[in-house]
Amino acid sequence: MQILELSRQTVEDFLFLEAELIDSQRFEEWHALFTPDGRYFVPLTDNEDTVHQAAIVNDDPLRLEERVYHLARVPFPSQSPRSRTLHLVTNVRIRPSGEGPGNTMTVVSNQLIVEMRVGDFRQVGLGEQRSFAAEVEHQLQPQGDALKIAMKTVRLLNRGGPVSNLTFLL
């Protein structure tokens, strides 16, 4: 596969697939979309510095593995009951080649991630729809016939503000 020849439709199909895997809670299949050195990054600050700034998520490959293991295999209070999510993916833009490193393509989309925890909806925090708007950047690489994610960055609109429980996948 030649990365430079990919149409927006191919790229969109890929983003839709990724969203579907998250929304149907197929976390390990989602993980498999990443390259072996793939990263998942949700910055807290505008400058996206990781030397002196803490991030919301700053996953190198091992931390990403840990996150997926945690979500898929270890029940924990803030995901008991679990979040349901629905991703709306729109405004897909393919950045001119040369902006990303090597054989990668940078794709930016606007996403609205709607989240709700199931369970007894009379209880605080359950049955309540919350929405998170974000600019999402994917660095995509071809691997054989498939596309893989080398880096996913989620720039939340409300980064830095008060936000609780983002323990689901964005």
Partner 1 sequence: MASSKSPIQGVGSGGDPQELVLRGPHTFRVHTRAYSDPAIFDLEMERIFGRTWVYVGHESEIPQPGNYKTAHIGLQPVIVARDDKGGINVFYNRCRHRGSVVCREPRGFANNFRCPYHGWIYGKDGRLLGVSMRDGYPSDFQQPEGLQKVPCVDSYRGLIFARAVAEGPSLVEQLGLAATWIDRRVNMSPVGEIELVAEPYVVEYRGNWKFMIENIIDEYHFAFVHEPFNKLQERYGDSTGDYGAHVSGSAKDMNQRRQAGRLSWGGVGGHGLGERRVSDEQLDSLLAGEDGDYYQGLLEKYRREELARMVGGGSVMTHPNVGMIHRQIRVVRPLAVDRTEVTIYPYELKGAPEADNQGWLRSQERFYGPAGYGMPDDVEMFALNQQGLAAQAVDWLILERGLDREQVTENGDRFAPVGGETPLRALWVEWLKLMSRAD
Stretch of residues binding partner 1 (CB under 8 A), selected from 3-11, 20-28, 47-55, 144-152 = 47-55
Closest to 146 measured CA to CA, from 51, 7, 10, 4: 10
Q: At closest approach, how far in Å is the CB of 35 from partner 1?
A: 18
* Residue 125 makes contact with partner 1 by CB under 8 A: yes
**Residue 153 structure tokens:** 């960055």
Q: How many residues bind partner 1 (CB under 8 A)?
A: 32
165 counts as binding partner 1 under rule CB under 8 A: yes
Return the residues of window 75-94 that contact partner 1 according to CB under 8 A: 75-78
Stretch that binds partner 1, among 10-18, 22-30, 64-72, 96-104 (CB under 8 A): 64-72
What letter does residue 78 receive in the DSSP assignment?
Answer: G
3 binding partner 1? (CB under 8 A): no
A 10 A CB-CB count for 18 gives 21
User: Long-range pairs for 24-31 at CB < 8 Å and ≥24 separation?
Assistant: 25/82, 27/68, 27/71, 27/72, 27/169, 28/68, 28/72, 30/68, 30/169, 31/64, 31/65, 31/68
Positions in 5-44 near partner 1 (CB under 8 A): 42, 44
| Shortest Å, Cβ 10 to partner 1 | 30
